[in-house]
């Protein structure tokens, strides 16, 4: 089936099997291997991307369902959004500075879920951050620093300076 | 994991979707896919054709229909939590929808899909049961309306006939004096309800004039806690009186025993959670 979608600002036209999952399309057809496959049961959130700006688990969306949509992966996050000298997105920068990752496997999904969270609520409390990231599991259990990173990024994007 | 092969169609109208479904008895409807896609990936289901409702814009959104709200089947859980009409007239639905899974799942999952999937551990079936919603179903022979009790038949089973689609949910607006609360017990942040209680209470002159209670996961379908409703009606609006009424919450239920909880424990939870939910609903 023919599909057209925009991934990280680049248009893709393709012919895919209906059963192809969006995460497989992203990784195998569009080179977005920054989107990992974690649990394959829609629990872990490692494969979270933005679909038309909202977080989704890309293992639980068919590529054909994303026809006509715009997808943002971790590889497209910094483009046009870089605020620092290194061009990183504020959340990427905050995860780096707050040591918000250990093995790094959950990080792309965590960051994209956090982008959605801060779009919804630019000034969240710590509890709201934890609720908003409920669908993303960190197997290293490094949640403290992840939450701290999101709160720091919230402060840097709104200037509100939320305390961790 | 990769699902088995299937054909896929995305019709632009309910009529075309019904036609596609009726032509293939192994076809399945897909909306948000948050229940179906995991089943396909695990190869628990082998449909020959997926009929994607995603292209049918008339099934989206919430409409004011006078004394009720007409909620399109494709309205997502996320939209239920944000819709001003839902907040004003059926807040129980918004509160319960906000407890489903996690934000990413709520962005995709739909009310029509959650009800049609008919998982007894799902939250919305008990909620529409308590709200006395009317489910509007469209099939080859036209549309019909069915009550929640007439819709949920068994574990993961509805009375939808082949070729029929749940197209909308009509929820009567809650009038003055009604309060609501959905109380859900699950031991970890991300889990299905072991038991959930959807409670509505109408308060009048320091008493509860009327109560409606829907139970999640206390049987193979959502059930009303009729004995507790009757006990709450006319009772003083106090935590003690609500706890007393809630002692009858498990009457007439047949909760399952499974790896997560024994039936007796579910009965205990139903009584405790109903007491809490009634108290919150009655504004205590």
Q: How many CB atoms lie within 10 A of CB B4?
A: 12
3-state DSSP call for residue B15? helix
* Closest-CA residue to B194 (of B264, B146, B89): B264
CB atoms < 10 A from the CB of A100, how many?
28
pLDDT on residue A85: 57
Asked if domains B61-172 and B181-281 share a fold, the reply is no
State the pLDDT confidence band at A42, using cuts at 50, 70 and 90: confident
In whole angstroms, give the CA distance from residue A99 to residue A103.
11
* DSSP 8-state symbol, B59: G
Whole-Å CA distances, B195 to A16, A73, B116, B132, B269: 41, 37, 20, 20, 7
Give the distance from residue A119's alpha carbon to the nearest chain B alpha carbon, in angstroms: 13
Tell me: pLDDT of A161 over 80: no
Residue A83 confidence (pLDDT):
52
In sequence order, which ranges of B121-262 are alpha helices (DSSP H)? 124-130, 148-151, 226-232, 239-246
Report the residue of chain B nearest A110, measured CA to CA. Answer: B104
Return the pLDDT at A162. Answer: 38
Q: Quick one: pLDDT at residue A86?
A: 67
Which pLDDT value is given to residue B39?
94
Residue whose entry in the numeric block shows the structure tokens 């905050």? A94
- Put simply, the answer to whether B105 touches A42 (Cβ < 8 Å) is yes
CB atoms within 10 A of CB B86: 22
Give residues with Cβ within 8 angstroms of B218, minimum separation 6. B195, B250, B253, B254, B255, B266, B267, B270
Q: Work out the percent of chain A whose per-residue pLDDT is above 90.
A: 85
The residues that bridge with A21 in the sheet, in sequence order, are: A62
Which residues of chain B are under the pLDDT cut of 70?
Answer: none
Residue A164 has pLDDT above 60, yes or no: no
Q: Is A106 on the interface with B (CB under 8 A)?
A: no
CB B53 within 8 A of CB B30: yes
Smallest Cβ–Cβ distance between A64 and the set B8, B41, B107 belongs to: B8
Asked if A46 is an interface residue toward chain B (Cβ–Cβ < 8 A), one would say: no
Domains of chain A: 2-77 (3.10.20.30), 90-158 (1.10.150.120)
What residues in B contact A57, CB-CB < 8 Å? 104-105
Please say if the pLDDT value at position A148 is more than 70.
Answer: yes
Residue A84: per-residue pLDDT? 53
Write down the domain spans for chain B: 7-47, 61-172, 181-281
Q: What's the average model confidence in pLDDT over A45-70?
A: 98
Assign A87 a pLDDT band (cuts: 50, 70, 90).
confident
**CB pair distance less than 8 Å for B6 and A132:** no
Structural domain B61-172, CATH architecture:
2-Layer Sandwich (3.30)
Each residue's pLDDT tens digit, A97-130:
999 999 999 999 999 999 999 999 999 999 999 9
The confidence score (pLDDT) of residue A80 equals: 57
Three-class secondary structure of residue A128 per DSSP: helix
CB contact (8 A) between residue A24 and residue B189: no
CATH superfamily assigned to domain B181-281: CO dehydrogenase flavoprotein, C-terminal domain (3.30.390.50)
Give the integer Cα–Cα distance in Å for B114 and B125. 8
Residue of A nearest to B36 (CA): A60
Q: Give the model's confidence band at A78: pLDDT under 50 very low, under 70 low, under 90 confident, else very high.
A: confident
- Residues in chain B whose Cβ is within 8 Å of chain A: 1-8, 10, 30, 33-34, 37-38, 40-42, 50, 52, 54, 78, 101-105, 107-108, 189-190
- Given a cut of 70, is residue A41 above it in pLDDT? yes
DSSP string, B97-150: HTTSS-HHHHHH-BHHHHHHHT-TT-SHHHHHHHTT-EEEEEETTEEEEE-HHH
Judging by beta carbons within 10 Å of its beta carbon (0-12, 13-18, 19+), is residue A113 exposed, middle or buried?
A: buried
- In this prediction the ipTM stands at 0.94
Please name the residues in contact with B194: beta carbons below 8 A apart, sequence gap of 6 or more. B121, B185, B186, B187, B217, B260, B261, B265, B266, B269
């Amino acid at each position: 089936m023919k599909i057209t979608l925009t991934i990280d600002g680049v248009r893709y036209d393709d012919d895919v099997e209906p059963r192809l999952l969006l995460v497989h399309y992203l990784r195998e057809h569009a080179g977005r291997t920054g989107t990992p496959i974690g649990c394959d049961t829609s629990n872990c959130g490692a494969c979270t991307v933005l679909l038309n700006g909202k977080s989704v688990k890309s293992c639980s969306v068919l590529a054909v369902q994303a026809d006509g949509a715009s997808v943002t992966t971790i590889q497209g996050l910094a483009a046009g959004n870089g605020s620092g000298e290194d061009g990183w997105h504020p959340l990427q920068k905050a995860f780096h500075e707050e040591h918000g990752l250990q093995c790094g496997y959950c990080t792309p999904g965590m960051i994209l879920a956090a982008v959605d969270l801060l779009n919804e609520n630019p000034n969240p409390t710590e509890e709201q951050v934890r609720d908003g990231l409920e669908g993303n599991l960190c197997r290293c259990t490094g949640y403290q620093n992840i939450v701290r990173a999101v709160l720091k990024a919230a402060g840097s994007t709104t200037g509100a300076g939320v305390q961790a | 994991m990769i699902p088995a092969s299937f054909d896929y169609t995305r019709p632009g109208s309910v009529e075309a979707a019904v036609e596609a479904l009726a032509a293939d008895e192994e076809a399945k409807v897909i909306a948000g896919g948050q229940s179906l896609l995991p089943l396909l990936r695990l190869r628990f289901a082998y449909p020959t054709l997926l009929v994607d409702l995603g292209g049918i814009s008339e099934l989206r959104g919430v409409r004011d229909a006078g004394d009720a709200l007409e909620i399109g089947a494709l309205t997502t859980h996320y939209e239920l939590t944000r819709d001003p009409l839902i907040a004003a007239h059926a807040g129980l639905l918004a509160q319960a929808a906000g407890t489903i899974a996690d934000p990413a799942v709520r962005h995709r999952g739909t009310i029509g899909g959650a009800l049609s999937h008919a998982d007894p551990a799902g939250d919305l079936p008990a909620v529409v049961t308590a709200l006395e919603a009317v489910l509007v179903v469209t099939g080859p022979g036209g549309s019909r309306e069915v009550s929640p009790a007439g819709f949920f038949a068994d574990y993961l089973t509805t009375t939808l006939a082949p070729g029929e689609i749940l197209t909308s949910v009509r929820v009567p607006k809650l009038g003055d004096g009604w309060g609501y609360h959905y109380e859900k017990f699950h031991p970890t942040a991300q889990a299905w309800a072991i038991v959930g209680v959807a409670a509505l209470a109408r308060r009048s002159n320091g008493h509860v004039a009327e109560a409606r209670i829907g139970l999640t996961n206390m049987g193979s379908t959502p059930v009303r806690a009729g004995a507790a409703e009757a006990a709450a009606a006319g009772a003083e609006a106090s935590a003690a009186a609500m706890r007393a009424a809630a002692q009858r919450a498990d009457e007439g239920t047949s909760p399952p025993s499974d790896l997560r909880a024994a039936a007796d424990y579910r009965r205990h939870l139903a009584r405790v959670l109903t007491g809490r939910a009634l108290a919150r609903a009655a504004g205590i």
